[in-house]
Amino acid sequence: LLDKFKTINRILQVDTKTLELAGATVQTVLILQAHKALRFEKMIAFNTAQDVYWGFYQLNFIDHEQFWVVYLDHSKQVKFREMLSKGGMDSTVIDFMLVIRRAIDLLAPMVVFVHNHPNGIIEPSTEYIQVTKKSIEALKVIDIDLVYHVIIGKERFFSMA
C-alpha cells in the first residue's frame, strides 16, 4: 500500500473499496478503519471539513443518527466535543440553546456540527439547510462562527456552512 499511496496519511484518506482494489487484506482494512475511528483522540485541530470527517469516521458504522458539536478555539483546535443528541434511523432532535450555552461557557469562538445519516444519503434535507442557516445567523449575534456542518454516511461526507 505504501508503494502505491506513498504515505500513511494518503492511505488513511482512501476509501475501503480503493484499498481492497490496491490489494489490502480484510484485516488491513479493518485495522485502518479502527485507526481512523480513533484518530479523533489525537487530532488537535479541524482545519478542513475532511479533518472533521476523519475525526468522526466511526459515525459511518452507527445505525441511528447522532448529532455532535465540537467547540474550537481561534486556531481551530478542539476545546471540547459532545454528542448533543441521539435519534432514530432518520432523525434526531437538536436543542440549539445547549450549543449556545456550552460555547459561551467554553469561550469557544467557533463550533462544528457533525451528524450522520445511517441510510448513506449525505445530501442535506431542506430541514438541515434551514437549521444550518438559522444557526449561522444566531451564532453570529454572539460572535461565534459555525465553521462546518458535516453530514457523514456510507464512507462519504457532505459539508455545509
SS3 124: coil
Beta-carbon contacts of residue 72 (< 8 Å; ≥ 6 apart): 45, 46, 78, 79, 108, 109, 110, 111, 112, 147
What pLDDT is attached to residue 67?
Answer: 92
Q: For the chain of 161 residues, list the mean pLDDT of each consecutive stretch of 10.
A: 76 79 83 66 77 89 91 91 83 83 94 93 87 90 95 92 71
Closest CA to 119 of 149, 156, 160: 156
**Residues in a beta bridge with 150:** 114, 159
What pLDDT is attached to residue 147?
Answer: 96
Rounded to 5 degrees, what angle do the CA atoms 11, 155, 149 make?
110
To the question of pTM greater than 0.85 for the whole model, the response is: no
What pLDDT is attached to residue 151?
Answer: 95
Rounded to 5 degrees, what angle do the CA atoms 48, 88, 104 make?
50
What pLDDT is attached to residue 42?
Answer: 53
What pLDDT is attached to residue 37?
Answer: 61
If 0-12 CB within 10 Å is exposed, 13-18 middle and 19+ buried, where does residue 53 land? buried
What pLDDT is attached to residue 38?
Answer: 59
What pLDDT is attached to residue 39?
Answer: 57
SS3 66: strand
What pLDDT is attached to residue 16?
Answer: 78
